[in-house]
A and B are shown apart, each in its own frame.
Chain A
């Protein structure tokens, strides 16, 4: 396989975008066909490059000018995250009709996100990720400037922080290439910067942020693509963090803190979900919830936790496509989607969460308590899911962008994929662990049938296949029950949530008190600064002279 093949996954969407733009300017909208070619082309390119060799392929083309070489590679991590990004984007670009400029921007965003996970070094990842973020903001704002979108400053802050982390590694260790950074360079404070940027990039916070907010937009065309391309990138950084530290984070405190954060995020999402006034609001919390579970699993620092987290993220990425295509009216599609989202057995979400929670117990050192908290969170999700089935649908989306049958198929696929969890682990997640946790990845065994953990074995195929058949049979013979659609009260209110919201609102609307306004009179300051007052200039000069003599 020639090294240049690594460019395929990101170049194909770029070429498609260019062709669409040219035709678009000529007044011809190539539409969904071209978009599908670009999107699925990227997926195909990833498969073609990775599957035959299943080992790292790298292309280095010399320095770019900011201390980094043009170094792109496809390895297990790139493959896993690339599919996570490209598949939902491809589904949405194929099905949802868009104006050609929006398709072009979405294509460019996809290419940038893929470049971010293909980049061999941190600075290059920061530049590509920052590009993806910029394009996402452009895409969302042009679709509907009044609808909610991620804070551009927050996204930029995340990518800038990552760039700074990269240059710190370059200065300290001579390189910021993932697999070449000296382990000793990645100190605790430095890793805190990486973790902070990762959290900012994916906005993994306990409060309601863009991964949940975007689903309340009037149209979900831009929202789906944005969440699909941006949300996994923060987790990608945390996974690469293991590679930088030779299979572990610099201090176990990072594992505990990040796992704790993940659980808190998942619980906060669950708490909001069980109080959601509409089904759409509930579904909006699904991705942050799964992200929280995934973060908790990935941060454990064990190969088992890592693979569980990756499978959860992959499930979330499929759900993104599913949610963007799902209409808001009640029906079997909504029902099955909710069941798949909350992890009804024998779905893949169920199996992955079970493995993730088992991993917390086996990680030792009180991390089992995080597993207990994870179980409590999952229970809250179950409650929220059961409640959401009978909630009003919420604001409807244009029917032209919803595809109930496709979303139903995706949801059924997720429910039926549970028995394949071991196979998915072997083919999809294990290579990631082998890449970033080379020393301990050998503990992952079990083959295509079982997921073997230290203390037990999950008989994925042998237990879940009969369960799947039994489930299909029992639901097939069950009679119909009328689900009463009604506004349902929240089971509980998060203590302090209301006061926190009030505080946030107060901060937002904070103004300088009347009696102090004159001190902050911008016009007055502007006149003073731009007026060319001789005394001011002389004063500045004297002050500077005084300063340099200190």
Chain B
């Protein structure tokens, strides 16, 4: 198993523990523990799969298991995007393995990138979303719980499947997806009417950074992606869990709301800023105009983050402790990310 995947699994486990300990009890904790545990086990299976095909089969099983969890969407609607993701990944594997013109490898690169986006639920393959749906059954589980590990596995396997030239094309497509998700996600988080939808778009925006990091085929890009995924799993997801995500919580302007907004926006000293620094570093090494575009895109985070931070309301008791822990963890990772990166072998 990749050390990166192990670390991301640990993050997911930590977020599950956080949900059980600090999140408001919207669903029975026992059910949440069972569903979260099953999801974690399935994700671990995907990460541990010794072959790409096995990982894809695991992904399919995971999708069906999640679709079986009671929610607001129909069973078929839940499986639409994951089904397409699995099909795309399988086709990509076929194109990558077949003998023939180089074009096949490039198509394989597109299939892998599109499959990744569809599996996680990113533009242009957004999963249908209902803010009222329990977290275990909602697309947020793919964005912030299962997705990071799946993405790490797909990216790692892609480099084994593709030639160098196709690998570059794969990176370019990921960067393209990344920029689209950054722009759309951050603007959507700012302007969409529903607060729950705003949270979902903010996840997509963060994923834009992560995809760009994966797309930059350099160590700094991978480091940046890992830090972004840390902020997604142990920053945005826990805050989403304690927030009034349906927008019913009163909008407040306390220090805690602004600190949360800063953390969500990737301001210093939170982990998001260190991730951005690494991303700029990687992009500068690859092609400096890309760094300029990324830097401009990074400014789009603020309005949406302020909105989400204020939508948190005033956390009380357990939630307050949880928010404080999340902020502290993000500050620590922002100021001293080396242990996280070293543990992932980056």
Instruction: Give residues in A with beta carbon < 8 Å to B.
Output: 63-67, 101, 105, 112, 123, 126-131, 133-134, 137-138, 141-142, 145, 152-153, 156-157, 159-161, 163-164, 166-168, 170-171, 522-523, 526, 529-532, 536-537, 540-541, 544-545, 547-549
Q: From B13-21, B143-151, B152-160, B280-288, give the one contacting chain A.
A: B280-288
- Report, nearest first, the 7 A-B pairs whose CB atoms are least far apart: A130-B268, A65-B338, A65-B337, A167-B281, A540-B124, A131-B269, A138-B258
B337 touches A64 (CB 8 A): yes
B124 — which chain A residues lie within 8 A by C-beta? 529, 536-537, 540
> Which DSSP category, helix, strand, loop or mixed, fits chain B's interface?
helix
How many angstroms from the CA of A153 to the CA of B172 in the assembled complex? Answer: 28
A134 — which chain B residues lie within 8 A by C-beta? 262, 267-269
The interface bits of chain B over 152-184 (1 if a CB of A lies within 8 angstroms of the residue's CB, else 0) are 000000000000000001001100100000001
The residue from B118, B188, B254, B295 contacting A142, defined by CB atoms under 8 A apart: B254
The interface bits of chain B over 231-250 (1 if a CB of A lies within 8 angstroms of the residue's CB, else 0) are 00000000000000000000
The residue from B125, B173, B258, B276 contacting A537, defined by CB atoms under 8 A apart: B125
16 contacts between A and B (CB under 8 A): A64-B337, A65-B339, A66-B223, A66-B337, A101-B255, A127-B274, A134-B269, A152-B265, A160-B298, A164-B280, A167-B284, A168-B288, A529-B124, A545-B107, A547-B173, A548-B109
Cβ of A120 to closest chain B Cβ, rounded Å: 15
How many angstroms from the CA of A126 to the CA of B77 in the assembled complex? Answer: 46
B129 touches A530 (CB 8 A): yes
B81 — which chain A residues lie within 8 A by C-beta? 532
Cβ of A156 to closest chain B Cβ, rounded Å: 6
Q: Does B75 contact A (CB under 8 A)?
A: no
A541 touches B114 (CB 8 A): yes
The interface bits of chain B over 15-47 (1 if a CB of A lies within 8 angstroms of the residue's CB, else 0) are 000000000000000000000000000000000
Q: Does B126 contact A (CB under 8 A)?
A: yes
Q: Does B106 contact A (CB under 8 A)?
A: yes
Most buried by A among B192, B267, B339: B267
B278 touches A529 (CB 8 A): no
A131 — which chain B residues lie within 8 A by C-beta? 267-269
Most buried by A among B262, B298, B299, B341: B262
A548 touches B110 (CB 8 A): yes
How many angstroms from the CA of A112 to the CA of B278 in the assembled complex? Answer: 21
Q: Does B72 contact A (CB under 8 A)?
A: no
Cβ of B245 to closest chain A Cβ, rounded Å: 16
Task: List 18 other contacts, CB 8 Å, given A159-B268, A548-B169.
Answer: A63-B338, A65-B338, A66-B274, A67-B278, A128-B269, A134-B267, A142-B254, A156-B265, A163-B277, A167-B284, A170-B281, A526-B188, A529-B123, A530-B197, A532-B80, A532-B127, A544-B114, A545-B107
A153 touches B302 (CB 8 A): yes
How many angstroms from the CA of A536 to the CA of B125 in the assembled complex? Answer: 9
B132 — which chain A residues lie within 8 A by C-beta? none
B285 — which chain A residues lie within 8 A by C-beta? 171
Given A134-B268, A152-B302, A548-B173, decide whether A530 and B338 contact each other with a Cβ distance below 8 A.
no
Give the nearest-CB partner of A161 in chain B.
B295
How many angstroms from the CA of A145 to the CA of B258 in the assembled complex? Answer: 11
A163 — which chain B residues lie within 8 A by C-beta? 273, 276-277, 280
Cβ of B194 to closest chain A Cβ, rounded Å: 10
The residue from B127, B295, B334, B341 contacting A160, defined by CB atoms under 8 A apart: B295
Q: Does B193 contact A (CB under 8 A)?
A: yes
How many angstroms from the CA of A163 to the CA of B268 in the assembled complex? Answer: 11
B302 — which chain A residues lie within 8 A by C-beta? 152-153, 156
A127 touches B335 (CB 8 A): yes
